[in-house]
Every structure is written in structure tokens, then in C-alpha cells.
Structure 1
Amino acid sequence: MDLRPAGAPAPLISYRSAAGRWVLLATVLGSSLAFIDATVVNIALPAISEDLGGGAADLQWTVNGYALSLASLVLLGGSLGDRFGRKRVFLIGVGWFALASLLCGLAQSMEMLIAARVLQGIGGALLTPGALAILEASFAREDRARAIGAWSGLGGIGGALGPFLGGWLVEVGDWRLIFLINVPIAALVMLVAARHVPESRNPAAPRELDVAGVLTGAAGLGGLTYGFTAWPANGPGSPEVLIALLIGVAGLAAFVVTQRRSRHPMLPLGIFSARAFTGANLVTFLVYAANGGVFFLVVLNLQVVAGFSPLASGLALLPVTVLMLLLSARAGALGQRIGPRIPMTAGPLIAAAGLLWMSRIGPGASYWTDVLPPVIVFGLGLCLLVAPLTATALGSLDDMYAGVASGVNNAVARAAGLLSVAVLPLAAGIGTGNLTDPADLHPTYRNALMICAALMLAGAALAAALIPTHLAAHTPTDTPTPTDATRAHATTAARSADTPVRTYCDVAAPPVHPRHDA
């Protein structure tokens, strides 16, 4: 029987307790739903196209429908959890994700699948920021770093298993299983979370939500994505393309205006007065745009052009995930010791070399001689880059803005991947071709990988120019005044930082840290 007064916060739990293990299970499995979904769908694209039909634009929207709603709403998801309860919003997100996954698995047309993918992204935006916020709010101060480290490491293992699972399901079963398998996992997450995860919220969270920012940001990203995706089939002079691009540009302009005027903006523009923070996010945009193109096109090329099976294609990029799981913590320690500029400059250069090598993968390619060596080079470049990049994005501002900084960096990475999948096939010359036709895909793939390599080189140049040798944390003068709750969290974070955390950096986007000031 619970004898606590109504509204009293739940007692903090220990990492080694049974309660702590239950909370970890719920957050790891819940996060894995979104993490794995971001990788397995690419493996199933040829099978989806064969079953439901559709051209290049339909395959792009199968990926981007999810990415668009997730990128547009992930910051809002964190704010809703702070205001209405992190457990409550997390449970809603998991349930929403499960229902949308069921619709994806039952889709009878490309239009139905794309619509269900948009709904799936909304669920992902609600559950993704909630997992880390629950860990931060539930565990005792001395156990938080260990809990977050365990969540990160186990999430990395889940990310590594995702391509294998997706390829195996497509090969021995049906592409629909990659969505339907989410339903029982989500049911388990909801059962565990409902029974064992304590509720928490931020009492200092503002009552107002930045609805204008959400709507204008979504309109901007959606308009640009639709316009660039429709361009190859309709031409640049098509009214459909021109109107969509105009909506996109106007939406992003309106987003900037609303963020300047809002009392509680999702994106406080004053934080960009910190040069290192601005530089880190510009590098993030370029690097994750390249990553988005790579993970979209390489798996397609291996199946359609090189003749790999879905399982072999899914496993082809597994070394990247394994390398990041093993080396991210060491790369972060290196960046802390010598400063972020050198690894953030060298990492993209090495990754670009791997991409130029990977662009040569064609018909009859051998995994051991043509695929694995460049994949390892590319993965080593990401290992050297990603952890210092994430640390710089967070460390270039005062600790009290860590939640905002991480949320912005995550949103930038996801927006970059979204626009990359929309723009790259167009820039690489797909025209009215089909991404599942070897004759159309092979030259498009080669050109696109070269463009991705150029994006990496541009990221290296920006890092060399804008990232300092060593970080000096500061608070920009025109950022909002921190609340007492934010200051309290900064003190807690500083104390918790004494415990080392083994961090796994995902290739889809940096981890979302809880927003304590939202």
C-alpha cells in the first residue's frame, strides 16, 4: 500500500535493486523500438517495392514519412513529458508506435504504408526523449550515470542486432514482420512500465507549449521534403514542386520568427551565439546528411545491383555499429584529452575516404574484398568523429542548457538525414528512374556516395575552422534566464559527472537528453 501523500514524488531507486532492473528493461526495450526501426526498414525496401509497387518517390517517403514526423516533434515530445508526466507520455508513445506498426504491417498500398509510417514517427517522437528523462528522474543521484551508461550500451547492442533481425525476417518470412514484431515488444514494454516505472514531471515546466514552432517547423521540413522528392518525376517547373518548396522556405522562415518571439521557444536562438555550438551543429548537419544517404542507398545497392540477399545486405554495415559500440567511449576520452578539433576534423576525412571506396561497389561485388574494407574505414571515421561531436554540442554551453543543446543537436541530425534522403537521388541524377532497377540505381548510387564524401569533407573543413582546440563552457548572454529547477539540475549533473559513463553513439542521431528547463 502506497502511504505517500497525493502528488508526492516517488522515492529514488537504486541501480542494483529489482526496481532499477525493471526500469532499465522498460526504457531499453522502448528505445530499441525506435532505434531498430530506423535501420531495418531500409533492408526491406526492395521487398516492399516488389509487393506494393511504387517508384523512387514512394520508397523515399517510406523512409522519410517516419523521419519527418519524428524530427518535427521530438523536441515537443520532451516538453510534453516534462509537463504531463514522463511515464504517461512514454506509455502513450509506445502504444501509439505499436498501433502504427500494426497498420504498417497490414498496409495494402504504398499510400497506406507511408501514412502509417508518419503515424509511427509521432509515436517515436513521444517515446524517444522519455526514456532518458525517466532514467534521470527515477534513479538515485549516485546511480544515474551508471544507469544511463547501461541504457546506452544495451541500446547499442540492440542497434547492432537490428539489421540482422530485419534481414532475417525479410529473407525467411515477409517484410511485414519487421513491423508486426514491434507489437508484442511494445505490449511487454507497456506492461513493465505501467507496473514498475515511477511517474515524474518537471514542476517548473511552463504551461504553454510552443505550438506555433511545431507547426511552422513541420511545414518547413515537410514542404522541402515533398518538393525535392517530387522534383525528379514532375520537373523543377511543376506547380506542385514550386508550391511545396515555397511552403518549405516560408515555413522555416516563420519558424525562426516564432522562436524569436515566443516566451518559451523550442529552439532558443540565443544559444547559437556560442561559436563552438553553432560549429558543432553545422558539422552535425553535414555529417548526418551524408550518413542518411549512406544507410538509405548502400543496402539498396547491395540487394538490387550486387545481388546480395536481404540478410547479407543487413549485415554488411554491421561492422560500423560494432566499431562504434567498442570505440565510442575511447574516442570521447581522446577528444577530452587533446580537444575536439583534431578528431572532428580527421574523422570526416577518414569517413570520406571510406565512402569514395564504397562508391565502387557494383555488380558481382565480393563482401570480403569490395564491401568490408571500405565499411571498416568509414566506421573508423565515424568512431573518431561522433563522440567528440556530441560532447562538443553539449559542452559548448553551460551545464544548465545541456538538455536544450542535446535536443537541438538531435533534431538537426534527424532533419539532415530526412532532407538527404529527399535530395540525394535528385542530385545524383535519378531522374524518372526506379531505385529498384539496377540500370537506374547503380549510377545514382555511385554519384550519391561521392556527394556524401563531399559532405564529409565539408564537415571536416568546418570543424577545422569553427571548433576550438579546447572547450570553455559559457552561457550566451541572450539566452533565457535559467530557472531554479534548471540550476538545481546543473548542480546534480555536475556531481553525477564524476562517475564515468560508457557511451554508445548511434549513427541515426545523437542521444536525446532530458530537457529539464523545457
Structure 2
Amino acid sequence: MPDRLRLTDDNRRWWTLGAMCFALFMIMLDNTVVNVALPTIQHDLHSSVSGLEWTVNAYTLSFAVLLVTGGRLGDIFGRRRMFLSGVVVFAGSSAMIAFAQSTGWLVGWRAVQGLGASFMMPATLSIISNAFPPHERGKAIGTWAGVSAMALAIGPVLGGFLVEHVSWQSIFLLNLPVAAAAVVVTLFAAHESRDESAPRTIDYAGLLALSTGLTALILALIEGNSWGWGSGRTVGLLAASVVLLTVFTRVEARVAAPMVDFSFFRSRGFLGANIVAFLVSFSMLATFFFLALYLQNVRGYSPLQAGVRFLPMTVIIIFAGPIAGRLADKVGPRPLISAGLFLTGVSLFWQGHLAVDTAYGQLLGAFMVMGAGIGLVMSPMSTAAMNAVDPTKAGVASGTLSMSRMVGGTFGVAAMGALISALGRSRLDHLLPQLPQSARSRIVDGLGAGGSTSVPGAVGDAARDAFLYALNDGLRISGAVAVLGSGLAWLLIDKRVPAHAHAASLAAEESAAAAGTPLADVPVAVEA
């Protein structure tokens, strides 16, 4: 093995980064790779439409709900320990999914897979934040963000290839060698770290209130379009989420060791980063979801062909993420985030003029601008959040940021679906006044999922017109949200790395120089 590839004190942090990127690749790949396998899974397991939806939703729900819990447990019991536990759970559940003989088995183990991801995701960012000093943190997080984008980019393409040429089970078995590599490298390279000031106790009351409150909220967002936003179930879940999350804030104010330290949000930088995380995910995931429906159901592309057409956007994110991370170390995250959100808004306004026969070349420019915008936002946003808190609190801070992203994305898809249904209904009433109300309602019910656009004849033409009319308005509204986020980022996020981060970095360098120890071995609150 060449000397530069050997694990040494000088390059240990880069090996650690590699292990975290392996794990992140696995998590993000499972966000997209499953979608293209759903028709084959439905055929093999004789799944209902509801069962297919929960194949995706069970993972999303458990992942989003437990992110803050996973981050906090890492702060208490050790981030490396929680990370490795999450990798093992994720890999084990992936193997069990591959042997699924029923939809219930599949959905149950997808929920367990989300549990493993919720322990891994915040740990990756907090371990990186502890392994790298502040002046290198942007570069490391930029690489981390680039790997995330790479996984999202190749997910539909790789999934389509494996499903067509191997089997749908192979997309889950692929996780096993990746997990094994992450475990081996982590054991040899990553130091253990935790919040040494935190008592070794779990806030069970806070954990219960947060988990049930988020479950109610996210379940309402996932099912709101199919149940109806005014239905008793949806309203009841939303009301329950408000009550439970209010209880959570009261509990956290009184316990000695809270799950979430709300004093974090007194930092404008941390508050701004979480608002940006919510808004960029709100705009981005809704766009990906409904543009994928447009490309397949209106333009007639296969899932693999649609996935390939997103590649220019995601390839730019892959390259822009690390560059933005390095720039954040030099100029601070604020100008990059603000410019990135503005470019994202420009792209969404550009996309908001779709027609049945819009050529892909017209979308290509908008996709490339959006790739540049998202690439400028993601890693500086994470850098801003992690630099705004003490490194000993990195786990729960990372979990909170990840939760903001997940909830923002869920809100975005739900809001876009509701908007498409509402505007689509109005458009269909205008286009098909002769059609019975019950028939129009059935078409509208499918618009939020793009299903009604495949109906043949004049009714199908009207459904496609209504879908595009509503989607274009939705894209422009998402663009306005992104531009609003650009202004908020400029107001809230510090222009430069905070002074306490520079001071911590200098102190670490001086201490390391005095002891003759490489800086990579002087993370905060670290055990050998």
C-alpha cells in the first residue's frame, strides 16, 4: 500500500471523513433507489397501492422522527458507538428486506432501516465536526455534501439498472459491502467523542413527547392529500402534533438534561441555518418529486430515462458542494448560502413554464442553474450550523439540522400536492364543466400523484392541462420561497466563522504544537 494511503496521525481525519461518506452514501442512496423498484416489488409481493406508499413512508417517518434522538444519544453515549450501531442496524435490516416474502415484512423492516439511518446521519456530521478544526471544516463538509448529492444522482440510474438486470432485492443487498467498509474504517480511524458535560441519563419524557409529536405531524403531512386536509384524521393529527410539541418544549425547559437545548436557537447562525435547511428542502424535494412525475407521466419517459435527465443537475451539485465548502472556510457561509438560494429561486421561476411538449433542452439550463444553487447552499449551511454551537454539542445540533431538512422536504411535497389538487380542481371545473362533479373529483384525487395525467382522450388532455397549470404555479411559489430564504440567510447567518470557533482552533493548534501532537488528534472531548 502506498504510504499516502496508510492510516497515520496526519491523515486519520481524512480516513474518518471517508468512512462517514461511505455511510452517508448508503443512507442517501436508499432515499431514491427504492422508487424505481416499486412496480417490480408490487408484482412480486402482490402489494396494494397503500402498501407501496408505506414502503417509502415507513423509512421516511422513522428516519425523520428519530434524528434528534439519534444525535442526542450520540452526545451522551459516544458518537462513534451510535454511528456503528446505526450502520449494523441499517445493514441488518437491508438484508432482511431482501428476503421479504410479504408487504408487511417489507414495510416493517423499512421502518427499522429508518431507525438505523437516524442514528447514522447526525453522527456522520458530528464526527466530522470533531475530527476537523474550524478552518478545515467547510472543506470536509463540502466533500460530505458532494457524496450526498452523488448518491441522490446515481440512485435512480443504479436502481433502474439493478432492477432490470439483477433483481429488486439487489438494491438492498448492495448496502452490505458498503456498510462493512464503513465499519472497518471507522473502527481503525475514528476517535470516540461525546459531550463530557452531559449527564449519562436519557430524557424519556422529552423523547416520548418529541417522537409522538413529530410522528403525528409527519403522518398528517404524508397522508393529508389522500385523506383530505379537512378530514377528521388529518385535523386530529395536526392538533395532536401541536399539543405534543408544545408539551415537549415545556418538558425541555424543566429537565436537567434536555433532548434539545433551545438556547442553540439564540444563535442567529444556528437559527438561520435551520430555516435555510427547511426552505431549501421545501423547494428542492417538492420539485424533484413532481418534475419526476412530469417527465414520466406527461413526457412519457421511463423511470430510468427520467433519472438520467436529472443527472446534469446532480453532477453540478457533486462538484459545487466541495468547492462551496472550501470557499466557506475563506469567505464565510453567508454569501454562498444567499447566492445559492437566489439561484435556486431563479431556476424554479425558469421551470415554471412547462407545457405538454416542452423540450428537455429547455429544462436543461434550469436544471444546471438549480444544481449550482443547491451546491452553493448545502455544505455552507451545515458549516454555519456546526460552527454556531460548541463541538461538544455537535450530535444534537446535527440531528436538529437534519430534522429541519427532513420536515421541510415533507412539508414541501405535501404543500405542492395540496396546491396541485386545489388549483387543478379549479382548472378542471373550467375545462370540463359538462363532466359530473363526482368524475371531476376522481380526476383531482389523482392529480397530486400525477396519476390522472395518463387518462386517454379529451379527459386526459384536460387532466394534463390542469396538472401543468397547477405545477407551474407551484414551481413559481417554490421559487418565491427560495428567494425569501436568500434574504433571511443574509440577515441571520454570520458572514465569517464565529470568533469562538477561531479561538478554539487557535487554542487547539497551540496546545498541539506545545505537546508535539498532530492537530488531527486534538478534537474536543475525545477518547482514544
| Interval containing the TM-score (normalised by the shorter chain) | 0.7 to 0.9
What is the aligned counterpart of 1:375 among 367, 377, 400? Answer: 367
Q: Partners of 2:240 and 2:506 in 1: how far apart?
A: 39
* Structure 2 residue aligned with 1:234: 227
Displacement, 1:272? Answer: 1.5
2:270 is aligned with 1:277: yes
Q: Partners of 2:99 and 2:384 in 1: how far apart?
A: 43
* Structure 1 residue aligned with 2:476: 450
2:423 is aligned with 1:409: no
* Structure 1 residue aligned with 2:379: 387
2:282 is aligned with 1:289: yes
What is the aligned counterpart of 2:29 among 32, 36, 48? Answer: 36
Distance 1:130 1:333, change over 3 A: closer
Which moves more between the two structures, 322-331 or 195-204? 195-204
Q: Partners of 1:84 and 1:460 in 2: how far apart?
A: 37
Q: How does 1:301-316 map to 2 (within 5 A)?
A: 301-316=294-309
Q: In structure 1, give the amino acid aligned to 2:295.
A: L
What is the aligned counterpart of 2:486 among 446, 451, 460? Answer: 460
Deviations 1:157-182 (A, max 9, x none): 55544343123223434444322322
* Structure 2 residue aligned with 1:3: none
* Structure 1 residue aligned with 2:446: 433
Distance 1:68 1:175, change over 3 A: same
Q: Percent identity?
A: 34
CA contact (8 A) 1:42 1:295 kept: no
Q: In structure 2, give the amino acid aligned to 1:437.
A: G
Higher percent of residues as helix: 2
Q: In structure 1, give the amino acid aligned to 2:29.
A: I
Q: Partners of 2:524 and 2:352 in 1: how far apart?
A: 38
Which consecutive residues of structure 1, in runs of 5 or more, have no partner in the other structure? Answer: 1-11, 476-486, 502-512
Q: How does 1:90-489 map to 2 (within 5 A)?
A: 90-107=83-100, 112-131=105-124, 157-158=150-151, 160-187=153-180, 189-190=182-183, 192=184, 196=188, 200-202=192-194, 204=196, 205-334=198-327, 340-361=333-354, 363=356, 365-367=358-360, 369-397=361-389, 404-429=396-421, 431-433=444-446, 435=449, 437=451, 439=453, 442-443=467-468, 445-467=471-493, 469=495, 472-473=498-499
Deviations 1:33-65 (A, max 9, x none): 11211232344456556765545x766544342
Q: Partners of 1:336 and 1:20 in 2: how far apart?
A: 17
Displacement, 1:123? Answer: 0.8
Task: Tell me the SS of whatever aligns to 1:433.
Answer: helix
* Structure 2 residue aligned with 1:510: none
Distance 1:74 1:183, change over 3 A: same
Which moves more between the two structures, 388-397 or 136-145? 136-145
Displacement, 1:73? Answer: 1.9
Distance 1:409 1:228, change over 3 A: closer
Task: Tell me the SS of whatever aligns to 2:31.
Answer: helix
2:94 is aligned with 1:80: no
- Rg larger in structure: 2
CA contact (8 A) 1:341 1:469 kept: yes
Distance 1:491 1:117, change over 3 A: farther
Report the RMSD for the aligned CA atoms in angstroms.
Answer: 4.3
Q: In structure 2, give the amino acid aligned to 1:129.
A: P
Distance 1:230 1:333, change over 3 A: closer
Q: Partners of 1:326 and 1:362 in 2: how far apart?
A: 31
* Structure 2 residue aligned with 1:483: none
Displacement, 1:121? Answer: 0.7
TM-score of the two chains, using structure 1 as the length reference: 0.76
* Structure 2 residue aligned with 1:14: 8
Q: Partners of 2:330 and 2:113 in 1: how far apart?
A: 41
CA contact (8 A) 1:281 1:409 kept: yes
CA contact (8 A) 2:27 2:117 kept: yes
* Structure 1 residue aligned with 2:459: none
Q: In structure 1, give the amino acid aligned to 2:410.
A: L
Deviations 1:71-118 (A, max 9, x none): 222233234345445454333322221232234445566555443322
CA contact (8 A) 1:404 1:515 kept: no
Which moves more between the two structures, 115-124 or 173-182? 173-182
Distance 1:461 1:177, change over 3 A: same
Distance 1:462 1:194, change over 3 A: closer
CA contact (8 A) 1:100 1:119 kept: yes
CA contact (8 A) 1:344 1:384 kept: yes
Displacement, 1:137? Answer: 7.2
Q: In structure 2, give the amino acid aligned to 1:215.
A: L
Displacement, 1:305? Answer: 2.5
Give the paired residue count: 478
Q: Partners of 1:187 and 1:255 in 2: how far apart?
A: 37
Task: Tell me the SS of whatever aligns to 1:429.
Answer: helix
Displacement, 1:13? Answer: 5.9
Q: Partners of 1:132 and 1:515 in 2: how far apart?
A: 16
CA contact (8 A) 2:97 2:172 kept: yes
Deviations 1:275-330 (A, max 9, x none): 33323322221111112212333333322322222222222222333222322344
Deviations 1:207-244 (A, max 9, x none): 11233332222222221222233333333443322222
CA contact (8 A) 2:217 2:241 kept: yes
CA contact (8 A) 1:13 1:20 kept: no
Q: Partners of 1:152 and 1:141 in 2: how far apart?
A: 17
Which moves more between the two structures, 75-84 or 152-161? 152-161
Q: In structure 1, give the amino acid aligned to 2:402.
A: N
Q: In structure 2, give the amino acid aligned to 1:389.
A: M
Q: In structure 1, give the amino acid aligned to 2:8.
A: S
Q: Partners of 1:437 and 1:214 in 2: how far apart?
A: 38
